[in-house]
Amino acid sequence: MNLKEYLKIFKISNLDFSKSLGISNVSLSRYISGDRLPERKILEKIFQITDGLVDANDFYLEKKNPNLLSEIQKQKIKEIVNEIKKGNRNYLAKAITIIESTLLSHKLESNLLLSKLPSNQNSIRIGITGVPGVGKSTFIETFGMTLVDLGHKVSVLAVDPSSNKSGGSILGDKTRMTKLSVNKNAFIRPSPSQGHLGGVAKKTNDSISCLEAAGFDIIFVETMGVGQAETAVYDMVDIFLVMLLPSGGDELQGIKKGIIEMADLIVVNKADGNLKKSAEITTSEYKNAQTMISKMRKDLTPEVLMCSSIESFGINEIWNYIKKFIEISRNNGSFFENRQKQKIKSIWNNLNSRLEFYIEKNIKTKEFVKKIIKDVENNNLDVNNATDIIFDYLSNN
């Protein structure tokens, strides 16, 4: 990190910093502006005082630092931020495209953009999971339209890293959300289909920030009840809804173990026609089982409700429960506490996924690492020693 950034982030004045270095404020300004390079002793001191965050490279490489945005780029981001705040959908789409891009220049733009967006604590983030075909998209269409009619601005995102169809699974879902997808108070975005779950989750989290800054107060995040995406979605929403088919237990339905325990709300869908009776039975079975379920972040016992997304039955009860859940958690503070925790958690999640990427690109490709792997394959080196050698290299790098 360069020194200027360091002082800004840690809110240290130039004067105070120059004093701790034992140099004049003028000398420090010259180092910061790049007019002069600090001598070795000063570099070492800076390294120590900043806990290694500012090192010699940050001075020598400063002049050709690619990590800087041009004035034109900064201006562009400023314009996007302003337009997003006005609720401009085209700019919102532009912003999300930048967030989802893998180009380095876009990454820098995206960081600047996200740092300028106002946070919005008035929104409700609703996660929805359930096996393919349970009716998540149809439910979001019906429920979403009800909310739009009540004056809300509704957005729909998806986390589906397994999908490599262009545009992700929601593209197909747009045909399930025919009314919502053309409504000016709704915004539907397919899952970023490239990359690992960690990357997709980060992009979804960042998109949520854009949508909230644009005034969307209801954010649906849909994911399939298979794979690992549920936990990622659970960690980005205020309330987590698990949708079930009107027959059989969760194992029979193919719902992964542990998902039911995460639910703040269970909804048995398709309670219509000749499925209604089984929906009632499934609902009461789950209601009875609820007493056994551990509460993860709840002030309410998770509710089990029944609905038909096609006939719009049960939708109001679901909305009332969500409102009650959010109101209680806002009043007792757990809503805000949860969002704070989620923010911190995303730092570690983002770091993990960046580290994974770094190992893939910069470590596995090193000749000496390849040699170590060969040695392990030939039984000349054991796994623990190999791991230690590579980790030592990684942590000293």
Sign of the CA dihedral 78, 79, 85, 91?
negative
Answer yes or no whether residue 110 interacts with Mg ion by CB under 5 A.
Answer: no
133 binds, among Mg ion, ligand GTP, none (CB under 5 to 8 A by kind): ligand GTP
Report the distance separating Cα 295 and Cα 290, nearest Å: 10
Residue among 251, 266, 378 at smallest CA distance from 325: 266
How many angstroms separate the first and last alpha carbons of the chain? Answer: 15
Residues between 141 and 170 with contacts to ligand GTP, criterion CB under 6 A:
169
- What residues form DSSP beta bridges with 243? 267
Q: Which residues contact 319 (CB under 8 A, 6 or more apart)?
A: 143, 146, 147
Q: What's the closest the beta carbon of residue 137 comes to Mg ion, in angstroms? A: 3
Report the distance separating Cα 204 and Cα 199, nearest Å: 9
Segment interacting with ligand GTP (CB under 6 A) among 131-139, 181-189, 316-324, 383-391: 131-139
Residues between 304 and 363 with contacts to ligand GTP, criterion CB under 6 A:
308-310
308 binds, among Mg ion, ligand GTP, none (CB under 5 to 8 A by kind): ligand GTP
Answer yes or no whether residue 212 interacts with Mg ion by CB under 5 A.
Answer: no
Of 62 and 250, the one with the shorter C-beta distance to ligand GTP is: 250
**Residue nearest to ligand GTP as judged by C-beta position:** 135
Which amino acid makes up residue 361? K
Answer yes or no whether residue 171 interacts with ligand GTP by CB under 6 A.
Answer: no
309 binds, among ligand GTP, Mg ion, none (CB under 5 to 8 A by kind): ligand GTP
- What residues form DSSP beta bridges with 157? 221
Radius of gyration of the chain (CA): 25
- Pattern 226-265, binding to ligand GTP, x per CB under 6 A? ----------------------------------------
Quickly count: other Cβ atoms within 10 Å of residue 131's Cβ. 19
Sign of the CA dihedral 164, 168, 171, 173?
positive
Answer yes or no whether residue 141 interacts with Mg ion by CB under 5 A.
Answer: no
Q: What's the closest the beta carbon of residue 127 comes to ligand GTP, in angstroms? A: 13
**Residue nearest to Mg ion as judged by C-beta position:** 137
81 binds, among ligand GTP, Mg ion, none (CB under 5 to 8 A by kind): none
Name the DSSP class of 11. Answer: T
Q: What's the closest the beta carbon of residue 315 comes to ligand GTP, in angstroms? A: 10
